[in-house]
């Protein structure tokens, strides 16, 4: 799971070059645990940051 988060953070870092990788790691972790909280399970969480409206709105 951590590798999946880091991989998606690397993809986002390429897309949003103005952002810091540490900031992306924190944001991806926040989205991961937020979605896991609503689903009630931590092992089968799929992070889809590209379709997350709040994430895209925050970095416009």
Helix axes 21-39, 2-15, angle to 10 degrees: 130
Above 60 in pLDDT, residue 58? no
In the chain, % helix, strand, coil (3-state, to 5) comes to 65, 0, 35
- SS3 category, 5: helix
Predicted confidence (pLDDT) per residue in 7-52, tens digit: 666 676 666 665 566 677 777 777 777 665 655 554 444 455 555 5
d(CA 41, CA 60): 31
Above 60 in pLDDT, residue 55? no
What is the residue extent of each domain of the chain? 2-58
- Can you give the pLDDT at residue 57? 47
- Can you give the pLDDT at residue 13? 62
- SS3 category, 1: coil
């Amino acid at each position: 799971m951590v590798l999946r988060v880091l991989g998606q953070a690397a993809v986002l870092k390429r897309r949003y070059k103005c952002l810091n990788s540490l900031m992306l790691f924190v944001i991806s972790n926040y989205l991961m645990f937020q979605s896991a909280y609503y689903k009630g399970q931590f092992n089968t969480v799929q992070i889809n940051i590209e379709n997350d409206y709040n994430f895209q709105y925050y970095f416009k």
